[in-house]
Structure 1
Amino acid sequence: MIEPNFLKPQDKVAIICTARAVDKKELKSALNMLKSWQLEPVIGKTIGLKYHQFGGTDHERAADLQHQINNPEIKAIWCAKGGYGTARMIDQIDFSPLLKNPKWIIGYSDVTALHLKLQGLGICSLHAQMPVDIQNKSETTRESLIQSLMSKPFNIEYISPFNSQAGHASGQLIGGNLSVLYSVLGSEPLPSFRDKILFLEDLDEYLYHIDRMILSLKRQEILKHIKGLIVGGMNAMNDNTIPFGQNAYEIINHYTKNLNIPIAYDCPVGHGCENYALTLGATVDLKVENNQVSIKY
C-alpha cells in the first residue's frame, strides 16, 4: 500500500464538496483549526455551490476533486460533508496522479465510496471527521486527526459495553459506512476483503436494512474471509411499528458469532461525539480480550 507523506507546517489542505452542499461560513471552525496547526487551507470551487442538495453538479464536484488531485501544491484533500453524492461522480475521476504523488484524502460516511476506490488502487486514506460540525466533536477526535495527518497513525484502546468476541488478528484495515459499502458491491472492481480487518459504521438506517446488508455480506462470503471485524457507531437507528426485535449490534452478532475471529463493538468511530481517525489500507493489530479492545498500527 502507498501511504502519503505526513503533513508539515505550511502544507496546503484543500476543502471540497464531494457530496452535499456546504457554505464557507460552515467551515469557520475547521479553517481556524487548520491554521492553528500551521497548515494552509485552500477553499475548493465547490464550496458555496448548490445544485439541489449537492455541492454543485456531478461534473462540478468531479472537476474540483480532479483539480486538487492534479495540483502538486495540495498535500491533502478534506471532503467537507457527507450525506450522499460521492459515488455519483467517482467514475469521472482519473486517480492515476496519486500513484506518483499520493496525498491524504480525508472523510467518512458517504466518502466510503472514495476510500474503497483508493484502496483498490493500493493507496491509503484517512477515515476521519469532516470540517462541518468538527467543533462539536470531542477533543480526542480532533487530536486523532492531527496526529494521523502530521506524525503517526492513532492507536485506539477502549472497553466495549457490548459483548465483543475475543481474539487477536492482524491485517489491512478496510471498510467504512455499511450502507455505502453495500451500495457499491458488484458495481465496480473492489479491493479484496480476504484476510482484511473490516470496519463498519452507519447512521439513520432501519434495523431491517442493517439485517439485509449484513446478510448480503455473509452470503457473498465477505464475512467468511475476513480476519477481524470492528463495529463503530450505529447511530440513530430506526424501527417499524412492529419492532424488528434486535438492535444493530445484535443483528451483526447474529451473523458473525460463529466466525472464529476477533469482533470489537462500540469502537469510538462514526457519527457520534467521538469519531477517531482510522488509516484505511494500513496494517492494524486487533486484540479483543474481556471486552478490552486494542487497535494498533
Structure 2
Amino acid sequence: MPRSSPVLFPKLPRLLKKGDTVLVIGTARHKPMSQISSGIRVLESWGLIVVPGQHVFKQHHQFSATDLERAADLQWAINHPKAKAVFLIGGGYGTLRIINLINARVLLKFPKWFIGFSDITVLHAWLFNKGMASIHGPMVFQYNSQPENTQHLKTLIFGKRPSVKIRSHNLNVYGSTKGFLYGGNLSILYALTGSAEQIPCALPIVLFIEDIDEYLYHIDRMMLQLLRSKQFKSICGVIVGDFTDIKDNAVPYGSSAYTIIQNAFSALNIPLCFGFPSGHGKINKSLLLGARVALNVNAKYSELLYLN
C-alpha cells in the first residue's frame, strides 16, 4: 500500500518580507514571455528579489520546457538555500510527468512556499506527503490581469491569515470540524489514486476540491473512484470551490456537479461547504494547504478559519 501521509504535521515556512529572494519556475504548460515578465514585475513591486529558473522562458510543444528541464528547475528551487518562496508560472498539464524525478532530501532543511493551483495540485500533494505546507493560489501569468486575487495572495503570504466567510448555499450540510486543509483540482486528486500522494489517511482532512472543463459523468466517475478507493475515510469536512465550464452530453446527465458531489459525501455525515470562491472562476481566494483549519457551516454562512 502507498504511504499516503507525512510522518510529521505539515511545516509552515516563514512569512515573506521585503528583500526576500523568491524563484519563478514552470512545471507544466508554456506561458508567453510577456505574461511571465508582467507577473515578475508584480512580485518585484512587493519588494521581492525575483530569480527566474534557467528554463522558465523556454517552450517544448505544449510544455514550458522538456520534462528534464522542468524537473531541473523544480529541483533547483527545492535545493535553493536562500529562497523563501517559489511562484509557478501556470498550470495546464505536466507536473505529474516530472514529480518522480524530484528528490526531497533537503526540502525541510530549506523550507519555502510553493504557490500555484490547477495542475500544481500534483506538487501540493507531493509537498503535503513530505511534510510541507503550500499555497493554492493564482499563478505568475495571472498576477497582472487579476489584481484582486493577487492582492489576497499577497496578504496571505506576507503575514495575515484572513478567514473566508461566505453566504450559505442550499446544498450545504451544517456542522463544525477541525483538520488539515488539503486538496485542489479534483481531476488531479483522482489521477493520484494509488500513489503516495493520494488523499492522506493518517490525519483529519478538510478537503478542498475544484475543477474546470469536465463532463458531468466524469465528475461522477471521479467521485465514485475516490469513494471506492477508501480515500474519504480521513475526511472530516469538505469545501467545494468553483466547477467552471462543466459540460454535458446531448442527452442530459440529470445532475449538476454540486449535486453529484453532495451525493458522494452524503453517507459520511460531515460538514459540506459549497460555493467557496476558489478555483478557476473569476474569484480565486488563496488557500493555505497543510494548515490546521476550522470549518463552520451553518444556516447563515460558512467560514474557514486558520488555527496556526
TM-score, length basis structure 1: 0.95
Deviation at 1:191, TM superposition (A): 5.5
Aligned counterpart, 1:163: 171
Aligned counterpart, 2:135: 126
Q: Which one of 206, 223, 226 corresponds to residue 214 of structure 1?
A: 223
* Runs of 4+ deviating beyond 4 Å: none
* Number of equivalences: 296
Q: Does 1:186 align with 2:181?
A: no
Aligned counterpart, 1:137: 146
Aligned counterpart, 1:283: 292
Q: Does 1:236 align with 2:242?
A: no
Aligned counterpart, 1:154: 162
1:32-71 equivalent positions in 2, closer than 5 A: 32-71=41-80
Aligned counterpart, 1:14: 23
Comparing 260-269 with 39-48, greater Cα deviation is found at 39-48
Unaligned runs of 5+ in 2: 1-9
Aligned counterpart, 1:99: 108
RMSD value, Cα: 1.5
* 8 A contact 1:268–1:275 mirrored in 2: yes
CA distance in 2: counterparts of 1:70 and 1:267, whole angstroms:
34
Residues 189, 230 of structure 1: CA spacing in aligned structure 2 closer, same or farther, 3 A cutoff?
Answer: closer
* 8 A contact 1:10–1:40 mirrored in 2: yes
- The DSSP-based 3-state class of the residue aligned with 1:77 is strand
* 8 A contact 2:134–2:289 mirrored in 1: yes
Identity of aligned residues (%): 42
Aligned counterpart, 1:23: 32
Aligned counterpart, 1:205: 214
CA distance in 2: counterparts of 1:185 and 1:291, whole angstroms:
35
Q: Does 1:273 align with 2:266?
A: no
Aligned counterpart, 2:183: 175
* 8 A contact 1:138–1:273 mirrored in 2: no
Comparing 189-198 with 32-41, greater Cα deviation is found at 189-198
Deviation at 1:291, TM superposition (A): 5.0
Deviation at 1:285, TM superposition (A): 0.3
Aligned counterpart, 2:6: none
One-letter code of the match for 1:276? K
One-letter code of the match for 1:219? R
Deviation at 1:189, TM superposition (A): 5.1
One-letter code of the match for 1:259? L
Comparing 96-105 with 29-38, greater Cα deviation is found at 29-38
**1:205-263: CA deviation from partner (whole Å, max 9, x where unpaired):** 11111000011121122224310000001000011111111110011011122321110
CA distance in 1: counterparts of 2:219 and 2:241, whole angstroms:
14
Aligned counterpart, 2:117: 108
Comparing 220-229 with 174-183, greater Cα deviation is found at 220-229
Unaligned runs of 5+ in 1: none
CA distance in 1: counterparts of 2:199 and 2:221, whole angstroms:
22
